[in-house]
Amino acid sequence: MPKVLSRNEQEISTEDDVVVFRRKVRALAQQRGFDPFATAALTTAASELARNVLVHAARGLGVLEEVNDGRRSGLRLELRDEGPGIVDVERALAGGFSTAHSLGLGLSGSRRLVDDFQLESTVGVGTVVTVVKWARF
Amino acid sequence: MTRGSIPILRVGSNLIVSVQRDLHDAIAEAFQEDLLVTIEKDGATGLLIDISALDMVDSYVARVLADTGRMAKLMGTETVIVGMRPEVAATLVRMGYTMAGVRTALNVDEGLIVLARRGRK
């Protein structure tokens, strides 16, 4: 498990919270030397995942952590909610599938933008998505 | 951001808007409606949307932009999206969103050339 160097938690229950969360992600990525492409990728993933929380669960938590696995430093995002959960995870990850009239790219798209993607979802309990992006130099 | 706060400039028969801030839910619809009303009022035949100030375009914002172009098209006005940053283009394609059917150009100058060519046909 990578070492966690810092941790910031934020409630996500409004559109403004989504904006604030992704701005925090952008600021930290830039501060930590992420190039513009990696910064845009992680910021966009943060936006998609935080919006998913808002749309599907109405509220949840966004966690932003600085991590280091001994070789590389990176940023880890964790988005957790106590919403309805995902009935068909495989289908949700396949993309082009949407239960909320979006483009259906939230999960599948975010997965393609990060280095590590984990999803745990239990129907009636909630969903936790954890992603990591490593800095490139 | 309140309704009407994204300035819409008129250049010849074209409208130019420069999106400077996040187009999130609260302002996206107002942005679209303002544009459509102005297109009708000014009789604009072309619409140029400059997104060079946007450092992030997620699938939601991409859809707002593409929908705006489709709405304008139904009225008979061509839309060109200009100034997409390299990291934004890379991110959208990696996500699987190519904005198919949306006309784009490198910058405002190139966008105006695209619209002018279209106008002569």
CB-count burial class (<10 Å; 0-12, 13-18, 19+) for A96: exposed
What digits encode the pLDDT tens for the residues A36-63? Answer: 999 999 999 999 999 999 999 999 999 9
Report the CATH fold assignment for B8-120.
Answer: Transcription Regulator spoIIAA (3.30.750)
Taking a C-beta distance cutoff of 8 angstroms, is the pair B120, B45 a contact?
A: no
List the 32-61 stretch of A: residues with Cβ below 8 A of B: 36-37, 39-41, 43-44, 47-48, 51
| Structural domain harbouring A31 | 3-134
Residue in B22, B54, B91 to test binding to A, most A beta-carbons within 10 Å? B91
Q: In what order do the strands lie in the sheet with B78-82?
A: B8-11, B14-18, B46-50, B78-82, B104-105
Residue A101's pLDDT is 47
| B56 at A interface, C-beta within 8 A | yes
CA–CA distance, B88 with B61 (Å, rounded to integer): 11
The pTM of the full predicted model, rounded to 2 decimals, is 0.90
The number of C-beta contacts closer than 8 angstroms across A and B is: 73
Tell me what the mean pLDDT of segment B11-15 comes to. 94
- SS3 at position B116: helix
Q: Which has more pLDDT, A81 or A102?
A: A81
**Mean pLDDT, residues B109-116:** 95
Q: Which residue in chain B is spatially nearest to A104 when comparing CA positions?
A: B59
Among A51, A47, A48, A3, CA closest to A25: A47
pLDDT tens string A4-35 = 999 999 999 999 999 999 999 999 999 999 99
Q: How far apart are the first and last CA of chain A?
A: 22
Number of domains in chain A: 1
- CATH number of domain containing A96: 3.30.565.10
Is A23 in contact with A32 (CB distance < 8 Å)? no
For residue A49, the chain B residue with the least C-alpha distance is: B58
Query: Is A85 an 8 Å CB contact of chain B?
Result: no
- Residue A11 CA to residue A13 CA, distance in Å, equals 6
The mean pLDDT of chain A is 91
Neighbours of B116 (CB within 10 A): 13
Percent of chain A topping pLDDT 90 = 78
Q: What pLDDT does residue B1 have?
A: 37
Is A19 or B28 the better-scoring residue by pLDDT? Answer: A19
Decide if A135 contacts A33 (C-beta within 8 A). yes
Interface pTM, i.e. ipTM: 0.89
The pLDDT of residue B29:
85
Q: What is the mean pLDDT of chain B?
A: 90
Please tell me the distance from the alpha carbon of residue A96 to that of residue B66, in angstroms, as a whole number: 17
Q: Which residues of B touch A109 (CB under 8 A)?
A: 59, 94-97
The residue ranges of every structural domain in chain B are 8-120
Q: In this predicted structure, what is the pLDDT of residue B23?
A: 77
